[in-house]
Chains A and B, each alone.
Chain A
Amino acid sequence: MYGCSDEPWNNPYPYNQSRSNIYYDVFEERPKHLDPISAYSANEYVFLGQIYEPPLQYHFLKRPYELTLLTATKIPEVEYFDTDGNQLAADAPAEMVHRAIYRITIRPGILFQPHPAFAKDEAGNYRYHHLSKENIARVNTLADFQETGTRELTAEDYLYQIKRFAHPGVHSPVAGLQGKYILGLQELSEQLAEEHADNQHEDGYIDLREYDLEGVKILDRYTYEVILKEKYPQFIYWLSMPFFAPMPWEADRFYSQYGMKDKNIVLNWYPVGTGPYMLIENNPNRRMVLERNPNFRGETFPQTGEEEDVVNGFLRDAGQTMPFIDKAIYSLEVENIPAWNKFLQGYYDVSDIQSDSFDQAVQFNAQGGAELTEEMQAKNIRLLTAVTTSIFYMGFNMLDEVAGGDSEQARLLRRAISIVVDYDEYISIFANGRGMPAQGPLPPGIFGHMEGEAGTNHYVYQWQDGRTVRRSVKEARDLMVRAGYPNGRDSASGRALILYLDTPAAGPGTKALFDWYRKQFAKLGINLVIRATDYNRFQEKMIKGTAQIFVWGWNADYPDPENFMFLLYGPNAKATRNGENAANYQNPEFDQLFNQMKSMANGPERQVVLDEMIEIVRKDAPWIWGFHPVGFSLHHGWYSNAKPNLMSNNTLKYKRIDPDSRYEMRKKWNQPVLWPVLLLSVLLIISIIPAWFSYKRRERSAAL
């Protein structure tokens, strides 16, 4: 079979796909949720982002990240009202705002993907909404339903999805957060929980259309308003996330039928959207397949971007109708080595760079810049780097008696440790240089982040000759003396200072890291004890607030400083409020500024407040600021429009593949090499010859 074709033998795909306009990628872990109300992980958004369409999206090319239209006709402008119903100015103080109203108008003519939930019979009744147990017993997958239908997207579909936050049978990780802001959502949640047993249909379906939600008003077929209980400017970012994508009631009705769940035919498994792609195969044991949605309205590639986008070719498709790719196949690859080798063979279009293949792919030039190795350049592989909107830090538990607290002694101790824990070195050793030392909580690309001297954390670094230089160990030791720990000994008791780092990391690979941590603390004479434990125990310690020092990280939900500063906001303390403030940091001045900053629009005034906040936390040093990881990704030359966009999750529609070029390269790179097999066979035959003669000799030999 192989010999009859000129296809490479090691091609893992069917040969009829070779010249097809298909994008190939990997997924490492099966997505837990494909229901947009529940999903909140990057590996889920890879799929959901292409299927569901919230009203807004991030501009593909512009930086800093900017919201633009998806299904909405214009960016919603918020209107504020006081308790008497009087409209307030856009910059009205938060305490005066009683209601904030976002009015969203969507485009007419948008259609849902073909789906059996919309199929109707000749009489106009839904064909699959009242299936008998026998009918359901006969189906195993969604594809077993022969008929499909569609209908136009309306504002009601957005309302239905927002009501699903309150559905007692659906878990949304942000339901509590949204309930805090959207008028009446919390009340609806309580009402539904109460009436769950009485008001549902016999098959378990709760028709949310029968319930009113005070905080969402339908103005006409294409317009709806979301009413918030207070000023919350970050709400607009949520309108670009799948949580706020439309959900047709027909889908909920269809999937809620008895027996569907037993067959795994659920919304969490088979999404229903209006986006450019639809999920046609969901086999997380092997592959997930997205295919072009035939009902997709078409969307044009952005016509504007950044200056260098023209040079980099990212505007070559400006004004063209998207999507460009017909199908996307994501294959399960649990191990890195096979995935990496298949990328090099041309069977995946893009790849991350894992530590074990980093040296093969990337080298650093004399200026410290990352560039591809000759091997990668010979294959016309391209490298893209981007600082992620995330932070990886080492935190002090502020409830701890030694390392935490608001005393000057503890503050100086933390600042001394911040100097000696050399994250520049960490990045070099453990992250292959893929990181940018953090000067505070805000990563680049987030409003409030400052570059240069203005952005330097002067408690840890100095600005010298146009660059940041880490303060010396001697300065850190001086701080230790001032803190009452000369040479790492408590001057009061004379005892050596012992600190504890709690970490869920374990295994032989972490030994070097643990040694490095100990070495950093030893610069001050501090004996660091690593308490490595499993993930669950570690979580338990964090929740109870019993860890002393820990390592943590955060990835932005949306590009607003509030999404990072709230990690240090007192009322969000993890130990007392189960919030995201893992260090349990509390500073009334910071908290007051946070409340002020979160409702301000980006501008010089907000920058001033942010600068004050950053100065407070740099001084208090509840975190050693760690670093902002830099994402390195590779792609082949036949893959274009690959500009990294770390906020968007719906970027597949922008990508383009040249299948003919890929086909030729795959053939060139994967010609079967047969001579070693032939050589081995010949050697085997040669080795058998003396054995054969020996056998014949024995046969002929006589017994004694």
Chain B
Amino acid sequence: MINYILRRIIYAIPILIGVNIITFVLFFVVNTPDEMARMHLGQKHVTLEAIDKWKSERGYDKPVVWNTAADSMGKFTDTIFFNKSIRLFVFDFGQSDNGRDIGYDISQRMWPSLAITVPSLLLGLLAYISFALILAFFRATYIDIWGVVICVIMMSISSMFYIIGGQFVISKLLHLVPISGYDSGFEAIKFVALPVLVGLIGSIGSSTRWYRTIFLEEMHKDFVRTARAKGLSEKVVLFRHVLRNGLIPILTGVVVVLPMLFIGSLITESFFAIPGLGSYTINAIQSQDFSIVRSMVYLGSVLYIIGLILTDVSYTIADPRIRLE
């Protein structure tokens, strides 16, 4: 398995280089360093000297990919591409275009993101599996039919509706929790309760339907029929046989998103004023801070690849029949 993981890590390198190049090219197609400078320097009294100075301070005055004026390796290393993109491979995120240390910002902002995403994942799993099991148990009854109808309705509604509706009902009408904001420590609970609840309700339709399908598939397999034939109670069949076997695809589906929990949610964080990495990325896009955007895209790619590797590993743990070669 170690060989397999090493091979996957080696495969990841060209993918990350590709992501890096695409991000770099896309950003430079959309924005020239002059435009970035104008964006950052504001509207008034922006002189050409100020633009040159801004570019020089941030290394945007260098050639893009090849420096003919430099010596030997400098031709490649003394360029914008090397300084802004290649360093990411050693997780040297550098400074944002506003002069902030991106690595420090990421280390600070991942905790609020995790404060939302981890409870959302755990509570969500509990709720979705429970509802899916109920629907599967009552398959083909009015409970199942209406449950599926409600799931379809809920999954058809935009997540924005849940966010605004949740804020309106829970915070504005019922006054149960703050409408937005964040604090550290235990104080965070009252701020994360609503986004977690909204996230949970927003995903309940699609996730419950998916899990129901998995459980129904298991319920029609021979070993379940055998278990019933043995005279086991429906409860034992459901929890010991159906749930256990159904958890294999569910868990592998969960493992793939585990690393992505750090990245947070773009919309949720923005609406609830959660100072996480999701809102960090949105703000960077709005302010055209290329340094932050490329760092977050790179980090997202790395985490996604880690998630895929973990998924493969989790298969072997969840299902002993699978061997990674």
List, in ascending order, chain B residues with CB within 8 A of A342's CB.
178-180
B33-63 interface mask toward A, CB cutoff 8 Å, 1 = contact, 0 = none?
0010011111011111110011001000000
Residue of A nearest to B228 (CB): A703
Given A174-B45, A536-B35, A699-B234, answer yes or no on A261-B178 (Cβ-Cβ < 8 Å). Answer: no
B182-193 interface mask toward A, CB cutoff 8 Å, 1 = contact, 0 = none?
110001001100
List, in ascending order, chain A residues with CB within 8 A of B182's CB.
286
Residue of A nearest to B56 (CB): A168
- Minimum Cβ distance to chain A for residue B14 (Å): 31
Cβ of A268 under 8 Å from chain B: yes
A12/B181 in contact, CB under 8 A: yes
- Minimum Cβ distance to chain A for residue B164 (Å): 6
B180/A335 in contact, CB under 8 A: yes
Cβ of B127 under 8 Å from chain A: no
Given A337-B167, A341-B167, answer yes or no on A173-B273 (Cβ-Cβ < 8 Å). Answer: no
Cβ of B108 under 8 Å from chain A: yes
A342 CA to B175 CA, complexed, in Å? 11
Q: List 14 A-B contacts (CB under 8 A).
A: A32-B40, A41-B42, A261-B99, A285-B275, A286-B273, A334-B279, A334-B283, A337-B271, A341-B168, A536-B288, A670-B175, A671-B175, A677-B174, A691-B143
A334/B270 in contact, CB under 8 A: yes
Cβ of B172 under 8 Å from chain A: yes
- Minimum Cβ distance to chain B for residue A310 (Å): 37
With beta carbons under 8 angstroms apart, the residue of B32, B44, B98, B141 that contacts A580 is B44
Can you add 8 more A-B contacts, CB < 8 Å, to A173-B42, A264-B101, A341-B179? A10-B178, A41-B42, A177-B45, A268-B99, A536-B30, A539-B38, A698-B234, A703-B228
A674 CA to B170 CA, complexed, in Å? 10
Cβ of B100 under 8 Å from chain A: yes
A691/B109 in contact, CB under 8 A: no
A536/B40 in contact, CB under 8 A: no
Cβ of A525 under 8 Å from chain B: no
**Max chain B Cβ within 10 angstroms of own Cβ: one of A12, A29, A339, A695:** A12
- A: interface residue count bin: 35 or more
A176/B143 in contact, CB under 8 A: no
B172/A341 in contact, CB under 8 A: yes
A333 CA to B283 CA, complexed, in Å? 12
**Max chain A Cβ within 10 angstroms of own Cβ: one of B175, B182, B234, B282:** B175
- B: interface residue count bin: 35 or more
List, in ascending order, chain B residues with CB within 8 A of A12's CB.
178-181, 183, 191
A408 CA to B104 CA, complexed, in Å? 61
| Chain B residues engaging chain A, CB cutoff 8 angstroms | 30-32, 35, 38-42, 44-50, 53-54, 57, 98-101, 104-105, 108-109, 134, 137-138, 141, 143, 164, 167-168, 171-183, 187, 190-191, 228, 233-235, 270-273, 275, 279-280, 282-283, 287-288
With beta carbons under 8 angstroms apart, the residue of A40, A331, A347, A557 that contacts B273 is A331
A173/B283 in contact, CB under 8 A: no
Nearest 9 pairs between A and B by C-beta? A285-B275, A338-B180, A12-B178, A536-B35, A12-B181, A673-B174, A670-B175, A286-B275, A173-B45
A159-203 interface mask toward B, CB cutoff 8 Å, 1 = contact, 0 = none?
000000000010101111100000000000000000000000000
- Minimum Cβ distance to chain B for residue A218 (Å): 28
List, in ascending order, chain A residues with CB within 8 A of B49's CB.
176
- Minimum Cβ distance to chain B for residue A339 (Å): 8
- Minimum Cβ distance to chain B for residue A330 (Å): 12
List, in ascending order, chain B residues with CB within 8 A of A8's CB.
175
List, in ascending order, chain A residues with CB within 8 A of B233's CB.
699
List, in ascending order, chain B residues with CB within 8 A of A534's CB.
30
List, in ascending order, chain A residues with CB within 8 A of B280's CB.
285
